[in-house]
Structure 1
């Protein structure tokens, strides 16, 4: 469940997370799924996975450990009972639309907006708990957190450079993603991807700047928490309003990219061959089965 905590270590997906709108049918089919967990086993052991991942950022005291575990257990129980059924309904609706050939740009926009709502719902649910717990961190824990965040930021930059060096053209990466979901990509579909890829904005640098700004504000609040009476509220407000900290250029580029991805998918769906459609539906069925198992257990 790495993506559940990746951006700030402590903050799950509370701090900015999605660098790009995902570039495949699966994202339209809920990039959402399990907040990044790979399967039922991972989800059912998410309390351990999250705690283990958080330990990279903060060494919890014996007093803090049971508090963290109780909060994570509470979050996951809520997520399983209230959020997973929504994911299941959306996946089922998406499958029906693909089978019936009724998927449109408007429907894709609804799916994308719904995914955004899921992230916001999780963020809102855990924000108070996270901000209250953050107030209990001591100076050594905060130092560890800040250093690790800086290290992870550098790792992210290095990884991004490696990926783009290996596959420098955005269109190539998109085509590979489609091929993984559909089994193969036709020449006509390649042309569609190439056309839209040429119009997409590069937002990586803007995302990194935004992420750095949010982390700087987070650091400012934490460092001064013992001297500011409303520091917990400030931190909660930050977690709930990180989107508002995006620059105008970044917000514009994100919105335009989102619409381009939606248009690209809308143009791709009518070109799907029977085998491709079958492969895509089979993948969605895999996710449906997974969510059903998680809800049942």
Structure 2
């Protein structure tokens, strides 16, 4: 499982971080259950031996597909991000184009894992479904306590702190001006946590409702919609909040790049190059490169 675990770490961790660098809020979907059900299902319930075997088999297939078909696209995407990082300049149009690429990558993953998701969920018994529902409820309660319980001023401060912690490995220590800009960004989002969690709770309710009817004729179609067309479950309010959040994130990156020092830009380029090397070092990707060369 060494290959699978290393690829999973890169695919979920590095891509989430890279989406942050591109200031695409959609990158957070890599950490959301509605995109990576087959990769995170085992975190929410106990599986029997047969289910674990099926899970590992499908996981291997999904990761092999991900490495051989998606990572080459990520390398090209990284080249675009690197060019912006090196220049220290970015336009809103350029970042929107990167977001479109990110959305396409996530849609491809959602479509690929849908059959595995359906198959795995149909293998659950009633007790496991009940446990899954409880686990998701606990997860939601934990999120509410962390993100909603504190006063709004504390939510804003915490959000800024989280952003700074995500940015520091890529840019190094932020300047006072950059820190103030991050604080302004966080304040501009206001009560965004409320809409985000309300939307997530709505999706989880729809998901559990579908799983409870996992043997019904229309179950595969319901799961496909939940995974591949998440926006259809958004409320009009969340749809506007989401658009505003992405717009604010893009402007934040534009400003941070403009205010960056040569040392920060070099650090960012070096970190992107490091991820590029990690991707290209994967054995499955080497196989793709070898095959491509043989066809030339």
Cα separation, partners in 2 of 1:63 and 1:207, compared to 1, 3 Å = same
> What is the match of residue 271 of structure 2?
283
Query: Alpha-carbon deviation of 1:135?
Result: 1.9
Q: Are 1:239 and 2:234 matched, yes or no?
A: no
Report if the CA contact (8 A) 1:57-1:145 is conserved. Answer: yes
1:94-150 Cα shifts (integer Å, max 9, x gaps): 112322445322111211222222111101111122123312221111111111111
Report if the CA contact (8 A) 1:32-1:118 is conserved. Answer: no
Structure 2 unpaired stretches of 5+: 32-37, 288-296
> What is the match of residue 21 of structure 2?
26
- 1:142-291 equivalences under 5 Å are 142-160=129-147, 165=154, 168=157, 170-226=159-215, 228-291=216-279
Larger fraction in helix? 2
* Of 278-287 and 153-162, the range deviating more from structure 2: 153-162
Q: Are 1:120 and 2:115 matched, yes or no?
A: no
Q: For residue 45 of structure 2, give the secondary structure of its aligned residue in structure 1.
A: coil
Q: Are 1:88 and 2:83 matched, yes or no?
A: no
CA distance in 2, matches of 1:196, 1:231: 41
> What is the match of residue 84 of structure 2?
97
Report if the CA contact (8 A) 1:218-1:238 is conserved. Answer: yes
CA distance in 1, matches of 2:221, 2:89: 45
Q: For residue 157 of structure 2, give the secondary structure of its aligned residue in structure 1.
A: coil
CA distance in 1, matches of 2:142, 2:266: 38
Which of 270, 280, 286 aligns to 1:296? It is 286
CA distance in 1, matches of 2:160, 2:49: 50
CA distance in 2, matches of 1:195, 1:189: 10
- In the superposition, the TM-score normalised over structure 1's length comes to 0.76
> What is the match of residue 96 of structure 2?
109
Cα separation, partners in 2 of 1:220 and 1:193, compared to 1, 3 Å = closer
Report if the CA contact (8 A) 2:156-2:186 is conserved. Answer: no
Report if the CA contact (8 A) 2:82-2:272 is conserved. Answer: yes
CA distance in 1, matches of 2:51, 2:161: 46
Query: Alpha-carbon deviation of 1:177?
Result: 4.0
CA distance in 1, matches of 2:253, 2:275: 20
Cα separation, partners in 2 of 1:32 and 1:296, compared to 1, 3 Å = farther
* Of 208-217 and 100-109, the range deviating more from structure 2: 100-109
Query: Alpha-carbon deviation of 1:26?
Result: 2.6
Cα separation, partners in 2 of 1:273 and 1:253, compared to 1, 3 Å = same
Query: Alpha-carbon deviation of 1:283?
Result: 1.4
> What is the match of residue 40 of structure 1?
none
CA distance in 2, matches of 1:29, 1:216: 26
CA distance in 2, matches of 1:31, 1:252: 14
State how many pairs are aligned.
264
CA distance in 1, matches of 2:264, 2:229: 40
- Superposed CA RMSD: 3.3
CA distance in 1, matches of 2:25, 2:71: 12
